[in-house]
Amino acid sequence: MKLDSRLAPRLYRMTLATRWYDELAEKARWFEAHFKVARYGSIHTVRRKLAQRGVPFFQRIIQRSHGIWIPKHDIRISFEREEPAAKIESKMQIELRRMEFRGRQREAIRMPSRVFGYAKRRRRRRRR
């Protein structure tokens, strides 16, 4: 019996990146977020869901840490090729990096890694 390809778990990797020029510091700044999760389902659907969950998270993180709101059209989304995974995971692993460029001088700073749920939490309605 052949296993349906949609049911085979795959490891998905997504990178979100944005850049701009900071006039006060006179440096080009670049933020990257690397998401990693193992899920099953069609590649198209999982990638779309991953992007829908990742972009607002990325915007919030940059807003909280640096006070800058990045519009969605300024965020570059890219995916790596999927790999087979042993089992599915309900949590996403996220690594964040901040890079600064000034002329030929470069500096990369790792921000704290995070883990957060792939599916949105369901809210319970309160009884009145």
The predicted pLDDT at position 1 comes to 44
Tokens of 40: 């099953």
Tokens of 44: 């198209």
pLDDT (mean) for 63-76: 91
How confident is residue 84, by pLDDT bands cut at 50, 70 and 90?
very high
- In the chain, the number of structural domains is 1
Is 3 within the bounds of a domain?
A: no
Is 45 within the bounds of a domain?
A: yes
Is 65 within the bounds of a domain?
A: yes
Is 128 within the bounds of a domain?
A: no
pLDDT (mean) for 58-62: 92
Is 83 within the bounds of a domain?
A: yes
The predicted pLDDT at position 26 comes to 84
Helix (H) or strand (E) holding 49: helix 43-66
Is 126 within the bounds of a domain?
A: no
Give residue 61's domain range.
10-117
Strands (E), 44-88: 76-79, 83-84
Is 49 within the bounds of a domain?
A: yes
How confident is residue 5, by pLDDT bands cut at 50, 70 and 90?
low
pLDDT (mean) for 110-119: 84
